[in-house]
Chain A
């Protein structure tokens, strides 16, 4: 009964969404407040109904109700409870339901918290938001209904792809989707503003925090996916430039640009039109990600659906929203009032540079992702645009961005003082050069570009710290004064500090682990030893054990450093019962210098096992950096103040004496 009730609730949610598009939109155009107000209860009801549907499906998973096709195809009675619950979104239909649930959650949040929004703007935003919901609810019900039934029910389900049977399944998709879908709010606001023909002051106040929230979750979602791939796929890679990864990375790049331009807009009312365009583009890239993953144009762990009808449907949604959004922009942008003016060397100017570079980077990734697909679609020829393409194009674009990154926050609004900023950054340059020399001294065998990359990362980290030190007047004020200033500094400043510092860490981690990774592949018999980057590893034996739904061969390794045991690693190979598929579980010892990473392979004909051992220097910096960025976003988000950018007074630019 639960299942059918959920099905009904989902259908009702579709109709409520239709009402939420039509009535408030008419209301806004004939200026009738009553009709506009329908949007609020509609948005809340929609969330309520989709939540009913979602929990009905989850209940079916939890109780192994195999009369539900989706459960029978993707679950199994022996699966541990956490994977039964998380398995709800481990497949196409269920993950689509999670998608619309999060969409409804954002819509309802606008309805509930948006009391200070002008009533027409709110009605239009909710109408646009509901139109996205209509499209995806229709998609769900017509092509991928999670509530399709089976009668008679099969004895047991087919099970979940073992690679997905990992605690990360419980977190990675919800975070990632919150990121993807969160950008729908910025999109709805942009479209509403275009329809309205004006950008309210409240517009920017709303767009920035919502974009920030979406960006935070997308950041942590991508980082979790990367970490998951790292420890689960068994060869220690953390990013593959796989089209599916790119699909999440493009909205991240565009979203980062949007975040910064929304900042300019909120504080200075400049870059209004550009922000609107970015909001449309960012959400379009999110939709494109959905299309790439679900249309069956490629196959990977992520691509659930390989049904052409679904692909065509999503393509139609993509064309409708992207094309419609851009067309509306082309029609209406000219009528919008442009915002404040500023000099090229100013905080605004630096953020424009940031935007240009990020958008170009997103375009590069887009080309690298779509070109091979388009070529295959047109000529049937399969080519692979792998890491070399991205390293050659995306990498160089990041260099000026990273160089400019610490300079931006040092410049004042409206007109900045470049020389002063450079002076204040002298310390960061110094640290970077020290890092450069140090890395060259240790790793003199090359690759010779890597030390520069690490120095760049150090410079960004130092730059973020200096910006903070400057604002609290470290070095010129008394300790009490510094503490007082540090306390008074708005939380958003700490957000910036952490986010920029995190980027620096990320860069250091990426460069170090890509350039100085060590790799050994060897057949080992119990008792044999292997030396990897200062660790002595002894293979002590292998045991077979039974898990809840798999058989596991657990290898045991003793890891010693300078004669004393530092870790006991147990990489294993699992063979799952349903579906009968094997996975590798790596054994990782994480030290501050980097990760020792062990994988056990198949038994060798001559006895012994194939063992792969890696040393990944500073690899944790990648995810720690992302985590710090996430925390920075959270701190900034908790700062509920209104943002007003205080411009510097026009005066002859005399370098401020170094503080």
Chain B
């Protein structure tokens, strides 16, 4: 199978380049990550990729596969169009090869205060939720923070320092819709404090399209806008969609 992989080592290379690799698939090569790791182990051990759980939960092996962001560990390698072009997540600064610097992404995530804000005296055991209140978190708590959405969002490309981005906004919605949180008003106000944090979103829905968990950040952004208008919506969680196969 033919792969064309983005290479860049800032210590040696003046600029990035694409390197070709050819490898015969073995029966144990199911997912793209299996093959990348075999290329690294057998052909070029300097090839750098970030990965951990290898089962689509940690989100660390998010890369751009044939022009589309996805997780290498849950992408069926046999369905990919050849040559398989692998690049780091678009618009994120490259650390080396397929590894990107996610500091800006985390900075935006932290800016939405991704934790419950509740100054009321804590109950003896825990803050309980009814099943209906818990259901409202569906479709937002499952985010694995892989960065696929934010990296594929043009609004984030143009204003990465000021626009929170789809991943951060999905998390903002997760806390806005949490019955145990007491800072809903402040959270909404914070997202409406300038024309950038939320309102750079033009609803082109690339985020929803590429989310490997089938989540819908664009729907969450719509719900935040409705909450700003005091419209509660249906009250339920966000629907998840089938993840399209990367080819």
Do the two chains bind? no
